[in-house]
A and B are shown apart, each in its own frame.
Chain A
Amino acid sequence: MSQFVVQDIEAKRVTFHVGGVWGYANDKIIRKQITQAVRATSKKAHFHKPVLIECSDLDRMDSAGAVLIIKLHQELKEAGFEAIEVEGLTHDDNALIKNLMDTPDDEHEVYTPDTFMYHMARLGKFTVSTVGRILDGLGFFGLIAIAFLQGFVSKDGFRRRSIVRHMRESGVDALPIVALMAFLISIVLAYQGVIQLRAFGAEIYTINLTAISILREMGVLLTAILVAGRSGSAFAAEIGVMKLNEEVDAMQTMGLSPMRVLVLPRVIALIIVLPILTFFADIAGIVGSAFSVALLVGVPLEQFMAQMQGGITVWTFLVGLIKAPFFGLLIAFVGTYSGMSAQGSAENVGRMTTSAVVWSIFLVIFADALFSILFQMIGI
């Protein structure tokens, strides 16, 4: 390993011979050698001697190397040496060092948080911004309503091709995954039900348990969560990037309303598509239940059908289905709103997309709770 800094202690002075390539590539080694060299010479006996930093053996020096020369100078001064001179530098290298020494420091203090007050402030900021967002969101909801009503009144109506496109992407393309998920979840549900009800010899009621759970709640909730993840995020990201690329602005300057062109078709598509997806999820769920009950309890299909029909009514099914379009509306609303709120950078779009998924799932579950209360009051 080459020596970049060699100290030479004489009676009348201390010399540091600097050589080799002083640059980024050798930064780590040179730092170590500087520390070693300074330590080796830092004795009270030598401090009064003049110091010479001799640089004529320097092969090459870049900015990082210049910083290191300055560092050597500083460390010697801090160690206690008083008279330090630098010799043997080329004109350019000298200029570089001088340039670096003239560079101002960064006055901005690096803020390291993690105090109680910092977290309190963060919570406060979050609360205020969330309330602001909610109010702003309500306004956006109003804009959707207006755009919807305009569709009935204006001559170009609704953008049917766009609606159908989104129905295909958010609905048809999601069918396999929704059906699969419903099928699997109902198997899990049935399995748990059988285990618990076995204790009472009541395994047969697993059929009622799964049918009611799936038709009333699980079918529609699972579908909504899946669509929120799939389409909610897609809406936010698509529209967010369009906003960043100034495509939304371009649209507006050409006389096209972004609400009617981008937002409304997506909203209408999800309102239509979610009940249909829920229906498929319900079927897949019941098939899964029949499958697992047949496997675990040995119930044949006819008995399954009889037991199920005895345990549910039309309303069991309709309760789930009624909620579906509302969930669709919520997911599309949150997704498009998040997209339209994007600004600044790619990082911002990412954050908006994440929050779109989280908020839409939260609102769906919240709405589900409200519906439960409502249905309970009505008596369905």
Chain B
Amino acid sequence: MSNAKDTIIEVRGLTNKFGSHTVHDSMDLDVKRGEILGIVGASGSGKSVLLRSMLGLHPPTSGQILFGDKDITRLSKKEILALHDKWGVLFQGGALFSGLSVLENVQLGMLENYDLPLPDATKLAINKLKLVGYKQEDIHKNPSELSGGMIKRAALARAIALDPEILFLDEPTAGLDPLSADGFDDLVLELRQHLGTSIVIITHDLDTLVKVCDRVAVIIDKKIIVDTIANFRKHEHPWIQKYFNGNRMRAALSLKENVSAPEGKPDKPKTKES
């Protein structure tokens, strides 16, 4: 029976140093079960390092990362491998295996880790591909034949293949056209709704942050602050002010408000603050 705690991941005192350069200085983070958490930060703030630390791919300099009752930083390589069914990861470039077809990519976890018979693994894989909106006729294509949007969808299907408790998405909408990016956002919301997955998204896409994320974690000055966008807009730190009150963010926010305007209320035209 999976741990029904409120928090699915607890990060305590995470420090990452590369030589004399400190990227993270004693960071704390709680990822709540069932939430969609966005992670933002300036380039070089260590978003990918944080992700890799949480996945056990990069041993941190110090700190704890608790997944349920297990501290990832204390586990052996073998034990970390055994966690594969708890999480699914969408890497930045998709990271699909170039020697396998899309279908084989999605099936791989099922076939390698469990003794599923091929027809059942095929059915489950096709189901996941359908879920992410990947076309049936393209399932035998090789990753080198796919467009950017298709790669992301295929990689997402592979990430959710084993119905993981938590999903990590690294810049999922980067390089996607607006329609695809919008579709991806909708997809993420549906996944949370249907599968109850907790989702952590590293992103620069403000529309994703506004539309999809319940809370946002900002990596700033080697630490991390988690809050809602509304609260961040009132935060005093200059970088956070600029980020959450800048033109792009305000455009994204007004888009959301216009779309989800409650019935009966007319949309007030937004006046530009000088």
Q: Which residues of A contact B (CB under 8 A)?
A: 21, 23-25, 27-28, 59-60, 62-64, 67, 71, 92, 95, 99-100, 103-106, 108, 344-348
Q: Which A-B residue pairs are the 5 nearest by beta carbons?
A: A345-B98, A344-B144, A62-B163, A103-B127, A347-B99
Docked-complex contact A24 and B98, CB < 8 angstroms: no
B92 to chain A, nearest CB (A): 15
CA separation between A15 and B140, bound complex, in Å? 41
Which of B39-47, B114-122, B235-243 is the contact stretch?
B114-122
Interface residues on B, range: 20 to 34
Q: Is B71 at the interface (CB under 8 A from chain A)?
A: no
- In the complex, chain A residues whose CB is within 8 Å of the CB of B2: 60
Give A60 to B131 CA distance when docked, in angstroms.
21
B123 x A103 contact (CB < 8 A): yes
Known: A60-B1, A63-B163, A64-B116. 12 other contacts (CB 8 A): A24-B110, A24-B116, A27-B116, A63-B124, A63-B128, A64-B120, A92-B194, A95-B194, A100-B127, A105-B126, A108-B140, A348-B144
Contact B142 A345 (CB under 8 A): yes
Chain B residue contacts of A95, Cβ below 8 A = 194
Q: Does B85 touch A at the CB level, under 8 Å?
A: yes
Provide a sorted-by-A list of 5 A–B residue pairs whose CB atoms are within 8 angstroms. A23-B163, A24-B113, A59-B1, A103-B127, A344-B98
With A25-B85, A27-B114, A345-B144 known as contacts, the answer to whether A103 contacts B1 (CB < 8 A) is no
- Name the prevailing secondary structure of the A interface residues: helix
Among A64, A92, A99, point to the contact of B114 (Cβ < 8 A).
Answer: A64
Which listed residue, B1, B85, B124, B143, touches A345 by the CB 8 Å rule? Answer: B143
Residue B103 CB within 8 A of the other chain: yes
Cβ A347 vs Cβ B124 within 8 A:
no
User: Which chain A residues border B219 with CB–CB below 8 Å?
Assistant: none
Are the CB atoms of A24 and B162 closer together than 8 Å?
Answer: yes
Known: A25-B85, A100-B127. A345 touches B99 (CB 8 A): yes
- Asked whether B139 is an interface residue with its Cβ less than 8 Å from the other chain, the reply is yes
Minimal Cβ-Cβ distance residue in A for B130: A103
CB neighbours of A104 from chain B (8 A): 126, 130, 136
Interface hits, B90-115 → A, CB 8 Å = 98-99, 103, 110, 113-115
Tell me which residues across on chain A come within 8 A of B113, comparing CB atoms.
Answer: 24
Interface residues in B119-163 by Cβ distance below 8 A to A read 120, 122-124, 126-128, 130-131, 136, 139-140, 142-144, 162-163
